[in-house]
Amino acid sequence: MRYELFYWPSIQGRGEFVRLALEQAGAEYIDVARRSEASGMGVSALMRWLEDDTVVCPPFAPPYLKAGKLVIGQTANILLFLGARHRLAPKDEAGRLWTHQLQLTIADLVSEVHESHHPIASRLYYEDQRQAARRRAADLRTQRLPKYLGYFERILERNPHASGYLSGKTLTYADLSMFQVIMGLRYAFPHAMIGLTAGHPRLEALRVRIAALPRIAAYLASKRRLRFSQQGIFRHYPELDAPRAKPRARR
């Protein structure tokens, strides 16, 4: 099956979690909004699904995935679908639900990261909420990130299969999503992540392991992988990061 992925063409955003799963699966897919308008695709094709009043079950917002006659919205929902079909989720029901639960927790974390630079309203510019963002980002760095990352570190430690993955014996889409989150946090909060990385060695080992997967490594090196930017979920504003650690004085 050839999939059609609908997401904004110039940012990683939530669509990147789906792209990583598709790339690791070796699935054939079209990134619709990145194709030309002349071919009947582009952003216009994306918007048609959102604005067409005849669509009975329309997606609320991108990303959404067209798979045959199915149109599936919401990142975690798309990954639940792909995971079962491309060996990116456990075979048993309990394992699939657990992986989905982890993905939903990742989604909560992603939302909090976005709100660190847009704490008042998404429609406002960052400059319109800079002071509120400083307070929200400080809480994210010192309270929320340690709580979330500590949770996932413990999940890796407690996996009864001792596989080094979050769920079950083998790689799942939750591991790919965790990789994306850590990469995004390293971009957005490089100084804060120095200490957080040191305190969560299993998560860092997972990041390195995912980056070395042949298909993921090829994707990361390709033009298909967009760079992090100030328009995405993970944004780097120096004033929202932790202060740079001072070098220790030599004795």
pLDDT at position 80 over 80: yes
User: 193: domain CATH number?
Assistant: 1.20.1050.10
| 196 and 110 co-located in one domain | yes
DSSP E strand stretches across the chain: 3-6, 29-31, 64-67, 70-73
Q: In this predicted structure, what is the pLDDT of residue 41?
A: 94
Residue 100 lies in a domain: yes
Residue 157 lies in a domain: yes
| 100 and 203 co-located in one domain | yes
Q: Which tokens hold the place of 115?
A: 């709100």
Give me the domain span that covers residue 111: 93-213
Q: In this predicted structure, what is the pLDDT of residue 32?
A: 97
The sign of the dihedral angle between the CA atoms of 116, 121, 127, 130 is negative
Residue 171 lies in a domain: yes
ω into residue 63 within 30 of 0, thus cis?
yes
Q: What pTM, to 2 d.p., does this model score? A: 0.95
> What is the total count of domains within the chain?
2
Average pLDDT of the segment spanning 204-229: 97
| 70 and 112 co-located in one domain | no
Coil vs helix vs strand at 70: strand
Q: What is the pLDDT of residues 151-182, one digit of tens each?
A: 999 999 999 999 999 999 999 999 999 999 99
Q: In this predicted structure, what is the pLDDT of residue 244?
A: 82
User: 62: domain CATH number?
Assistant: 3.40.30.10
| 79 and 97 co-located in one domain | no
